[in-house]
Amino acid sequence: MSQSAPRSLHDLGYAGIERELAADGVKRHHAKALHRSLYREGNLDLSRPDFLPPLRQWIERRVGGEKGFTLDAPEVVDETRSSDGLTRKYLLRLQDGQTIETVLMGYDNRLTACISSQAGCAMGCVFCATGQMGFVRHLRPGEIVAQVLHVQRVIRADMPDRRLRNLVFMGMGEPLHNYNSVMHALDIISDCRGVGIGPAFISVSTVGVVPAILRMAEEGLPYNLAVSLHGSSEGERSALIPVSKKWPLADLVEACRSYGATTGRRIFFGWTLIAGKNDSPETAHRLVDLLKGIDSHINLIPLNPTAGFDGTTAQTAAALEFQRIIKEAGIPCTFRQRRGIDVAAGCGQLKANRLHKTA
């Protein structure tokens, strides 16, 4: 993190709050009230009458303006809702003016937050609106946590009898390119004293950052891993995902094999079906061979159209045949629902649409 980065209370988590209070001579047990207020209740106003005087005085001294700590309270600059009202997409403005996307997805009787890990993305996947924009910067842990808190506030206000269950990183950015911030944010998010989303309900997705997949296994991190494959030969894959030249398909599959063997966990493979590019029966058969011996689940994803890519989604017959081949080989294979399309829910599309409108 750069020297000039703002210090946010949302970056800290429980241990960090305890440490900061102790450094200023405030007893550690006051951390509980502040942590609960920030992360469980999602409060952005810390002038709480229920705080004891030492904590109130610390907040007066240390939070706001030039006093040291800020809060991550991203501003909603755009919001769209799907026609069925179940999916809501937010364009959020951060303290430095950068905008990111956060989505609340409500289907299959579950509420899922889909969040961003970076402003922009360096991976350059050709079919992705964020990839077409390029990389701006990594998000801090607090900026990642704040997206989940935003979604929880929306749920509390509009659907008070429901709760956020799942978390995925399918907004803007490649989470494993921002490893330390993402994993610190997930420590905070999975803390049952605060946000409280269990690790089993959290998925970290990657386009194939091989060293980081190996690191996740080595560190024994308890989250689900989702790998975007999109091609079963090197040529097929690197035409869609340029970063495949840096981490070739063979290395990626080996890393997944090692991850599976070390963690004993199933890996979810994402596959965006693009007509004529990666939807043939030969590709499906090759995919089956590639994943032999890895406990896998394949999610087939329809292509979300973007202005910068002229591909089209696979025809239904081709998609069903692709799925049949995989399932017949004994690999679970499902279609991801296309809920977001009428709210521009492919990552980067809301921001791209807004840039287009204001250009």
Binding site for ligand SF4 (CB under 6 A): 121, 123-125, 128, 130-131, 172-174, 207, 347
Nearer to ligand SF4, 327 or 339 (CB): 339
Q: Is 41 a catalytic residue?
A: no
Q: Is 79 a catalytic residue?
A: no
- Please, what is the minimum distance in Å from the beta carbon of residue 123 to ligand SF4? 4
Nearer to ligand SF4, 34 or 176 (CB): 176
**Which one of 101, 143, 174, 236 is the catalytic residue?**
101
Nearer to ligand SF4, 9 or 216 (CB): 216
The residue number with the shortest CB distance to ligand SF4 is: 131
Q: What is the DSSP string of 193-262?
A: TTT---GGGEEEEES--HHHHHHHHHTT--SEEEEE---SSHHHHHHH-GGGGTS-HHHHHHHHHHHHHH
As to burial, measured by CB atoms within 10 angstroms (0-12 exposed, 13-18 middle, 19+ buried), residue 265 is middle
Nearer to ligand SF4, 135 or 322 (CB): 135
Nearer to ligand SF4, 46 or 343 (CB): 343
Cα dihedral 336, 341, 343, 349 in deg (nearest 10): 100
- Please, what is the minimum distance in Å from the beta carbon of residue 125 to ligand SF4? 3
Give whole-number Cα distances, 30 to 33, 36, 52, 54, in Å.
6, 10, 8, 8
- Please, what is the minimum distance in Å from the beta carbon of residue 131 to ligand SF4? 3
- Please, what is the minimum distance in Å from the beta carbon of residue 142 to ligand SF4? 21
* 206 phi/psi in degrees, rounded to 5: -150, 150
- Please, what is the minimum distance in Å from the beta carbon of residue 139 to ligand SF4? 13
| Secondary structure class of 75 (helix, strand, coil) | strand
Cα dihedral 148, 152, 153, 158 in deg (nearest 10): 140
**Which one of 114, 121, 333, 347 is the catalytic residue?**
347
Using alpha carbons only, give the angle 350, 355, 359 rounded to the nearest 5 degrees. Answer: 150
Q: 78 forms bridges with which residues in the sheet?
A: 91
Residues 121, 105 contacting (CB under 8 angstroms): no
User: Any idea which residues carry the catalytic annotation?
Assistant: 101, 347
